[in-house]
Amino acid sequence: MGVTAVLMLPLLLLGISGLLFIYQEVSRLWSKSVVQNKVVVITDAISGLGKECARVFHTGGARLVLCGKNWERLQSLYDALISVADPSKTFTPKLVLLDLSDISCVQDVAKEVLDCYGCVDILINNASVKVKGPAHKISLELDKKIMDANYFGPIILTKALLPNMISRRTGQIVLVNNIQGKLGIPFRTAYAASKHAALGFFDCLRAEVEEYDVVVSTVSPTFIRSYHVDPGQGNWEASIWKFFFRKLTYGAHPVDVAEEVMRTVRRKKQEVFLANPIPKAAVYIRTLFPELFFAVVAYGVKEKLSVPEEG
């Protein structure tokens, strides 16, 4: 009996591995079929995540409309996509110059986006601007810039494209948000406020458009790190705050987030929280034990920071 069990274990592991491989391949093919021929608009397509989303959806056969505020970088992305694509299975991406922080032009650019194919099936709101520093050192002008880029710009674009989805009774809107739409972190007041506002808007919108078969999804990673930068070890002190904050700032790789966006579109998920266990626990602690959460966060506020703009 014991010998038989030992012999069966490798076969069992091999069988499980085979099933997982088949599941992954079926999921990959299913993802492609879901977005094939769909008009997909990606904002800030020139960012790390934007590029990966463009790659994933382009490979899946989507008709891409890539938006960004730098034409040369948009053109570079275009060249990179078509250089590795199969022309018989993909569509040539269309490029649109768009700076979401300039809210006065978003409405007109939305018309240009619609003119590309006459409709929009999937809108991926990806653009984001960050700032870090003590609240009293951040000017109101900078506060407004953050709100324009992270809140007003995306909702203006969404409102402009939404009637097309409602009239066709189909569509999906994906907001790539952040953990700071769920909880606040010191020295990021403007950024956290913009992310809270955006999440609140799209949570409300989800219920409003459900009757028109329009899906609203939110994907909230902790942070999206650059391609080649892993969280460094640093000279962290052995304290609760240092441990908590370091775990909280472990970012997700753009490739992982882009694949999660694709899964969210495929499965029509309403909300995805992309984080390791520490940030997830922080969200629950903030909800269930707010005083404990506030005490841990306040313990870490020891140094004043400058106000460098990160985005």
Distance of alpha carbon 280 from alpha carbon 248, whole angstroms: 9
* Distance between first and last Cα of the chain: 63
Query: With contact defined as beta carbons under 8 Å apart, do 237 and 184 qualify?
Result: no
Q: 117 an active-site residue?
A: no
Collect all residues with Cβ–Cβ distance below 8 Å to 283 and sequence separation of at least 6.
179, 182, 183, 273
Q: What are the DSSP calls for 203-241, one per residue?
A: HHHHHHHGGGTEEEEEEEES-B--TT-PPP-TT--SSHH
Distance of alpha carbon 177 from alpha carbon 224, whole angstroms: 10
Distance of alpha carbon 178 from alpha carbon 278, whole angstroms: 15
Catalytic residue, chosen from 191, 250, 284, 299, is 191
Question: Which residues are part of the catalytic machinery?
Answer: 191
